[in-house]
Homo-oligomer: A and B are copies of this chain.
Amino acid sequence: MNDLSGQNKDISPSFVSDYMEGAHPEVMRRLLETNLERGAAYGADSYSESARVRIRKACNAPDAQVYFLSGGTQTNAVMIDTLIAPYQGVIGAESAHINTHEAGAVEFCGHKVISVPAKDGRINADSIRDTMEAWLSDESREHVVMPGMVYISHPTELGTLYPLAELKAISEVCRKYGLKLYLDGARMAYALGCPENDVSLADIASLCDAFYIGGAKCGALFGEAAVFPGGGIKSFTTILKQHGALFAKGKVIGTQFDALFTDGLYEKIGRKANETAEKLKAVFASKGVELAAPSPTNQVFVLLTQKQLDDLDGKVGFSRWAPVPDGRWIVRFAVNWATSDEEIAKLAELL
**Bound: A21/B23 CA distance, A:** 19
- Alpha-carbon gap, A143 to B236, bound state (A): 11
Segment at the interface with B among A38-46, A188-196, A280-288: A38-46
Is A9 an interface residue, CB under 8 A from the partner? Answer: yes
**8 Å CB contacts to B: which residues of A34-55?**
34-46, 52
Chain B residues lying within 8 Å of A216, measured Cβ to Cβ, are: 248-249
Which of A60-68, A163-171, A263-271 lies at the interface?
A60-68
> Which residue of B has the minimal Cβ distance to A319?
B139
Closest B residue to A72 by beta carbon equals: B248
Q: Which residues of chain B are within 8 angstroms of A113 by Cβ–Cβ distance?
A: 112
- Inter-chain contacts of A245 with B (CB < 8 A): 71, 74, 244
- Size of the chain A interface, CB-CB below 8 angstroms: 104
Q: In the complex, which residues of chain B have a beta carbon less than 8 angstroms from the beta carbon of A243? A: 105, 108, 244
Q: A31 in the interface, Cβ–Cβ < 8 Å?
A: yes
> For chain A residues 132-158, which have a beta carbon within 8 Å of chain B?
137-146
At the interface with chain B, which of A12-20, A117-125, A197-205?
A12-20
Say yes or no: is A6 at the interface (Cβ < 8 Å to chain B): yes
**Contact A40 to B8, CB < 8 A, known contacts A22-B34, A216-B248:** yes
Are A143 and B8 closer than 8 Å at their CB atoms? no
Copies, count: 4
For A100, the chain B residues whose CB sits under 8 A away are 143-144
- Taking the closest CB of chain B, its distance from the CB of A29, in whole angstroms, is 9
Interface residues of A in 198-253 (CB under 8 A from B): 216-217, 221-222, 231, 234-239, 241-249, 251-252
Given known pairs A36-B338, A238-B103, A244-B73, the reply for A46 and B112 (CB within 8 Å) is: no
In contact, A111 and B107 (Cβ under 8 angstroms): yes
> Could you list which residues of chain A lie within 8 angstroms of chain B, going by C-beta atoms?
1-10, 12, 14, 16-17, 19-23, 25, 28, 31-32, 34-46, 52, 63, 65-67, 70-78, 81, 85-87, 89, 100-105, 107-108, 110-113, 137-146, 216-217, 221-222, 231, 234-239, 241-249, 251-252, 319-320, 322-323, 338
**Contacts A/B (CB < 8 Å), 29 sampled:** A2-B43, A2-B65, A3-B234, A7-B140, A9-B40, A10-B39, A10-B45, A14-B38, A19-B41, A22-B31, A22-B34, A22-B37, A28-B31, A28-B32, A32-B32, A38-B338, A42-B142, A70-B247, A72-B248, A74-B244, A74-B245, A87-B104, A87-B238, A87-B239, A100-B143, A104-B110, A104-B242, A143-B241, A221-B249
